[in-house]
Chain A
Amino acid sequence: MANSYSIIVPCNASEVLGLSNSIAYYLQQHKPALKELTILRCKHVLVELFTNAIKHAGCMQVHFTVNVNADAVVIQKKDTGLRLQLIQFNIRWDEAAIGVKQHLYNALYLEVISANELHFHILPPLTPEAIASGTFAMHEHFGLQIIASACSSFHYYYNATTRENIYTATIPLNDV
């Protein structure tokens, strides 16, 4: 069986569970030794990447690619819908900034790498001192938080030439 699984699905909520189950099946078949918790995390990431596209991208279809290597499962989602808007997070593409979403127990950090690239991180809860030092408050976004929590790295890249939104999520095999 190939190391890569690729599928294009209509951007519709009724497709979410089927997509998630079909990719979980592929992972189980391709790598039987994969831990159940790793597959669960992959399912959570798929559901949230897909849901995010349905809610925000306004596109007709989404292209998923799943690669399994020795250390990780790498899930990539591409669509040609609206690019990720940062205004809802109170940060701008043209400024190097770190956005922070303060949550009850977790904090989601958005790190602007360039005008087209963004990295998401989960870090321990912020202290009041850190908040006072000039970080940016974000609205709640459980979807991004779920993906970032399940991954060792989670990146967004906008390809201005092809007008593609490219999300890359890496789920480690040995972290569970």
Chain B
Amino acid sequence: MIIQITESSPYTIATVNVTEANLEWSEAFKQQMMQLIDSGHKKVIVSFEKVSYVDSSFLGALVASLKHAISQHADIMLTHLNKDVANLLQLIRLDKVFTIYPTNAAAMQQ
């Protein structure tokens, strides 16, 4: 599984379980996120604590997941972005699209 699921009702923490979040994993990630949202999870925290870098394919999967979540009245939050990943999101202004928190605890306080 590319994502490791932890329940903390009403939140679901989906920890990305690879260090290189790239095109090799993007399709599997998207499929698992879609299934998670379709199975009724409304507040999904995607944790990048294990991820050292993200490429455009994975970003595309993340955006596709967010679009699907919005259509299902669900929400996706991102946590534990390292400097490289945070900078990448800022570069193409996806930091304006996603809700980003430093930690899972901070996301769950909102």
Q: Is the A/B pair a real complex?
A: yes
Interface residues on B, range: 20 to 34
Q: Is B35 located at the chain interface by the 8 A CB criterion?
A: no
Chain B residue contacts of A16, Cβ below 8 A? 20, 22, 55
B60 to A140, Cβ gap below 8 A? Answer: yes
Q: Min CB distance, A81 to chain B, in Å?
A: 16
Measured between beta carbons, the chain B residues less than 8 angstroms from A54 are 23
What is the predominant secondary structure among interface residues of chain A facing chain B? helix
SS of B interface (majority): helix
Q: Would you call B92 and A145 a contact (CB within 8 A)?
A: yes
Smallest CB gap from B84: residue in A: A40
Q: Is A48 an interface residue (CB 8 A)?
A: yes
Find A106's partner among B20, B24, B56, B93 (CB 8 Å cutoff). B93
Task: Kindly state the separation between the CA atoms of A143 and B83 in the bound complex, as whole angstroms.
Answer: 19
Asked if B22 and A44 make an inter-chain contact with CB atoms under 8 angstroms apart, the answer reads no
B39-71 vs A, Cβ < 8 Å mask (1 yes, 0 no): 000000000000011011101100100000000
A25: Cβ under 8 A from any B Cβ: no
CB atoms of A17 and B52 under 8 A apart: yes
Chain A hits for B22, CB < 8 A: 13, 16, 51
B34 interface hit (Cβ, 8 Å): no
Count A-B pairs with CB separation below 8 Å. 66
Query: Nearest chain-B residue to A20 (Cβ)?
Result: B53
**In the bound complex, what is the Cα–Cα distance between A140 and B60 (angstroms)?**
8
A47 — which chain B residues lie within 8 A by C-beta? 53, 55
CA A44 – CA B53 in complex, angstroms? Answer: 9
Interface string of A35-51 (1 = CB under 8 A from B): 00100110110011001
Q: Which of A17, A40, A145 interacts with B20 by CB under 8 Å? A: A17
Query: Given known contacts A13-B24, A17-B20, A105-B97, is B53 in contact with A146 (CB within 8 Å)?
Result: no
- Return chain A residues, CB-CB under 8 Å to B63: 140, 142
A60 to chain B, nearest CB (A): 18
What are 17 pairs between A and B in contact, CB < 8 Å? A16-B22, A37-B87, A40-B84, A41-B91, A44-B88, A44-B91, A47-B55, A51-B22, A51-B23, A140-B60, A141-B56, A142-B56, A142-B59, A142-B63, A143-B56, A146-B91, A149-B91
Q: A43-B84, A146-B91 are in contact. List 12 more A-B contacts (CB 8 A).
A: A13-B24, A40-B87, A41-B91, A51-B22, A54-B23, A105-B92, A140-B60, A140-B63, A141-B56, A142-B92, A143-B55, A149-B91
